[in-house]
Amino acid sequence: MAPPGLLRSWLGQSRAMSLAMSRCVLEPRPPGKRWLVAGLGNPGLPGTRHSVGMAVLGQLARRLGVAESWARDPRCAADLALAPLGDAQLVLLRPRRLMNSNGRSVARAAELFGLTADAVYLVHDELDKPLGKLALKLGGSARGHNGVCSCISCLNSSAMPRLRVGIGRPATADAVQAHVLGRFSPAEQELLPLLLDRATDLLLDHIRERSQGPAVGP
């Protein structure tokens, strides 16, 4: 059992964090649209190919000036940061659950912020594209990606736009798990800064364009 003083301190910090995140949700909605951008991956495994979606979210937060604003929200088991984009607002999300359960965090955050599935962007690794290649897919099947499968199941929809970040496929099927859970090689790491910048550009351009269109979500 923790000492009473330590327990009171922990409870106070927990309440303060919960209150801060509650304010983020309960504050008046900005005049423009609101979008959720989720970087799929495995918490605690930064720098691995399977968590490249989280790396893109880190670059996106830096670009928007909110890299120091990440806050843990226990309600959705994720780190969240809010960022303005013109008249719109972006909710940046990095799940704290394992990849196969990322959808539970994404769906809960969408519920908290009153967003429908088509206002939720998923950023994730893509085996069938070489490193450096990007593609924005507008809904559809998960193509075997477990994190996307989880999101489709938990959101009960396949309408989410997905930014697919190529990580390349190994020569043999039995090497796939080690490949996706492995870290980028030194040669690959040299390509990452430009890749993350391009991924951020693609996301922001697409969201800006959609923000000029009809309202999305409630």
Residue 166, CB-side half-sphere exposure with 13 Å CA sphere:
15
Residue 145 annotated to the active site: no
The SS3 assignment for 212 reads coil
- DSSP string of 101-143? GHHHHHHHHHHHTT--GGGEEEEEEETTS-TT-EEEEES---T
Integer Cα distance of 171 and 148 in angstroms: 24
Do residues 129 and 166 make contact, with C-beta atoms less than 8 angstroms apart? yes
Identity of the amino acid at 73? D
**Per the residue annotation, which of 50, 124, 145, 179 is the catalytic one?**
50
Return all residues near 129 (Cβ < 8 A) that are at least 6 apart.
135, 164, 165, 166, 167, 168
Tell me the catalytic residues: 50
